[in-house]
């Protein structure tokens, strides 16, 4: 058994007021403390994290497919506020209250959007995609990345069409062939590698244009929600060797969110969600006042 991921304990779909479906997966006890997961780029609901930590801490981990990914109905033209409203309805229908949320990689701005809209009780940004379109980062970005940011700003529709050219294998190769030794230990572990491949295949099942491309345009543009207005606890986690998600490993992001706590983990990379799930979840539960003491 891989120490990084397990198959979901429960799978389902929740219908939204407009008839669309949100696909979800759960791990941990069904009566545990609810914690939502906004997964990374193009990965479906099936890729969780920290199975041992989830059980030990009594967490009911709930991963939700964003529209157009996996089992969730596509919603062309959607924005961050639309996603937060989807999650608001989802938590009401499933009687989850105001759960905390973990936003990993490209899922980070979607988790923060939920916080800005008052939908969640706390956020853990883990190896989060930063707001790289911010002017302060212009000179820090590699030329290729800066070109994509400029493309999104100048022609969002054209950029979305460009990102729609990606597929599951291209995404898998891009992620798993980069990273430091700590990341490779995760990516090359057979159980994780298989789970990640299957998650990407499901994430791209509707085609990149349905979900991934829209997510990427939103994440790489200026974020329309006000970070200084977020009032819930926010933890920001980066591995000290992760140079791919944020130009300054979340330093500026932390200064823009009142009370945010930045954690820079030594001897870790971009796979932090799977290598350090215990501290991430423990801190999130403690800061939101939902720790069971497990």
Structure tokens at 185: 């230990």
For 24, the enclosing helix (H) or strand (E) is strand 21-27
- Residue span of the structural domain in which 135 resides: 10-288
pLDDT of residue 292: 56
Residue 163 has φ and ψ, to the nearest 5°, of: -65, -25
Calculate the dihedral angle through the C-alpha atoms of 31, 36, 39, 45, rounding to the nearest 10 degrees. Answer: 40
Angle at 24 between CA 278 and CA 253, to 5 degrees: 50
- Return the residue matching tokens 């229908």: 93
* Number of structural domains in the chain: 1
- Read off the pTM: 0.96
Q: What is the pLDDT of residue 283?
A: 98
- Is there a domain that residue 1 lies in? no
pLDDT computed for residue 119 by the predictor: 98
Tell me phi and psi for residue 2, to 5 degrees. Answer: -70, 140
pLDDT of 1 reads 54
Task: Tell me whether strands 21-27 and 10-15 are parallel, antiparallel or unpaired.
Answer: antiparallel
- 133 assigned to some structural domain: yes
Task: Choose among 221, 188, 185, 175: nearest CA to 43.
Answer: 175
* C-alpha closest to that of 237 among 104, 101, 113, 56: 104
Is residue 95 assigned to a domain?
yes
Token digits of residue 256:
């823009």
Q: Does the residue 3 lie in any domain?
A: no
- Structural domain includes residue 223: yes
DSSP state of 137: G
Residue 293 lies in a domain: no
Q: Tell me which residues of the chain have a pLDDT lower than 50.
A: 293-294
pLDDT score, position 26: 98
Q: Which stretches within the chain are classed as H helix?
A: 51-57, 80-93, 108-116, 143-154, 156-163, 168-176, 181-187, 190-203, 212-220, 251-256, 272-275, 277-287
What pLDDT sits at residue 294? Answer: 46
Q: Is residue 176 part of a domain?
A: yes
Token pair, residue 85, equals: 């409203």
Q: What's the CATH code of the domain at 274?
A: 3.40.50.1820
Q: Is residue 164 part of a domain?
A: yes
pLDDT the model gives residue 46: 96
What's the gap between Cα 94 and its chain centre? 21
């Amino acid at each position: 058994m891989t120490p990084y991921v397990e198959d979901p304990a429960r799978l389902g779909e929740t219908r939204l007021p407009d008839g669309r479906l949100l696909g979800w997966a759960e791990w941990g006890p069904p009566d545990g403390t609810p914690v939502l997961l906004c997964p990374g780029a193009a990965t479906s609901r099936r890729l969780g994290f920290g199975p041992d930590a989830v059980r030990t801490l009594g967490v009911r981990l709930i991963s939700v497919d964003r529209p157009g990914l996996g089992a969730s109905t596509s919603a062309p033209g959607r924005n961050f506020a639309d996603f937060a409203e989807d999650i608001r309805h989802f938590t009401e229908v499933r009687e989850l209250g105001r759960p905390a949320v973990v936003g990993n990689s490209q899922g980070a701005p979607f988790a923060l959007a939920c916080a800005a809209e008052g939908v969640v009780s706390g956020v853990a940004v883990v190896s989060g995609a930063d707001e790289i379109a911010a002017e302060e980062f212009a000179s820090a970005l590699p030329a290729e990345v800066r070109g994509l940011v400029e493309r999104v700003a100048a022609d969002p529709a054209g950029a979305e069409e460009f990102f729609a050219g990606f597929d599951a294998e291209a995404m898998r190769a891009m992620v798993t062939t980069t990273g430091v030794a700590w990341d490779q230990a995760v990516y090359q572990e057979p159980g994780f590698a298989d789970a990640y491949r299957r998650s990407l295949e499901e994430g791209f099942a509707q085609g990149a244009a349905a979900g991934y491309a829209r997510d990427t345009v939103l994440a790489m543009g200026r974020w329309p929600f006000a970070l200084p207005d977020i009032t819930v606890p926010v933890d920001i986690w980066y591995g000290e060797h992760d140079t791919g998600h944020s130009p300054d490993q979340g330093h500026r992001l932390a200064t823009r969110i009142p009370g945010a706590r930045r954690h820079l983990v030594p001897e870790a990379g971009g796979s932090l969600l799977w290598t350090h799930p215990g501290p991430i979840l423990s801190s999130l539960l403690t800061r939101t006042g939902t720790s069971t003491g497990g």
